[in-house]
Structure 1
Amino acid sequence: MIFCSISWPNCIPPQQKKMFGEYCLYLDGKPVGLVCDDLLFLKPTKGGRALLSDIVEASPYPKARPHLQIDPDAWEDSDWLCELIVATAKGLPIPKPKKAKQPPTA
């Protein structure tokens, strides 16, 4: 995955978890975006939009809500990309805790 090769000298990199053959990015326990087909999609937030000069919205996969598609050429600026991901995370609510799985009843 191309996104993995980015160096993050000035910030904590987002966690990357493989999902459905693609990757979900998490920061502070919040899902902030997806990497699908080597394209970066971030959840749309006011903070994220404020840092983008050209806003491109696209769906990362069929029937998905539109996300902010980040141009791969912009990935080279790791400081800006870090700022964008942090701003996105700050604009998202804290995820609800998952319920414990109930044992199957017979």
Structure 2
Amino acid sequence: MPGAICQTARMASDRRTIDFIVDQIAAAGDVVAKPMFGEYGIYCDGRMVALVCDDRLFVKQTAGGRAVAGDVDEGAPYPGAKPCLSIDQDRWDDRDWLTDLIRVSAAELPLPKPRKRKGG
């Protein structure tokens, strides 16, 4: 059922999936994957640009990213999340396209706000 991604029986994403995606988009910038609540956030140049939930890739929506992505489905990576671009696995092998999507999307996303230090 579309839109029900990560809402049913949750399985943590396989680390091999994360490693593959990070390798595919490494040329987009400084790319790292960080564990988040049993799944992973993908960061490019300090900006969270995508999530991997249940071995599915969700890229945050931006105008430029949507233009690069073309006709892709939207989906929520977890209940209550804003809709993201849902990138099918068959597109993951297109390194140039995926790298461009991540690079363009990251350029339009804000840097995270600095955390306030406790007891400072």
What range is the shorter-chain TM-score in?
0.7 to 0.9
Identity %: 49
Counterpart of 1:102 in structure 2: which amino acid?
G
Max radius of gyration: which structure?
Answer: 1
Give the TM-score taking structure 1 as reference length.
0.87
CA–CA distance in 2 between the matches of 1:80 and 1:27? 15
Total equivalences in the alignment: 103
Give the alignment partner of residue 82 of structure 2, picking from 60, 65, 71. Answer: 65
Residue 87, structure 1, aligned to residue 99, structure 2: no
Unaligned 5+ segments in structure 1 are: none
Aligned CA-pair RMSD: 1.9
Deviates more, 1:74-83 or 1:12-21: 12-21
Give the TM-score taking structure 2 as reference length.
0.77
Q: Which has the higher helix share?
A: 2
CA–CA distance in 2 between the matches of 1:26 and 1:4? 13
After TM superposition, what 4+ stretches of structure 1 lie above 3 angstroms from structure 2? 6-10
Pairing 1:14-29 to 2, within 5 Å after superposition: 14-29=31-46
Give how far 1:78 is off: 1.1
Give the alignment partner of residue 41 of structure 1, picking from 37, 58, 68. Answer: 58
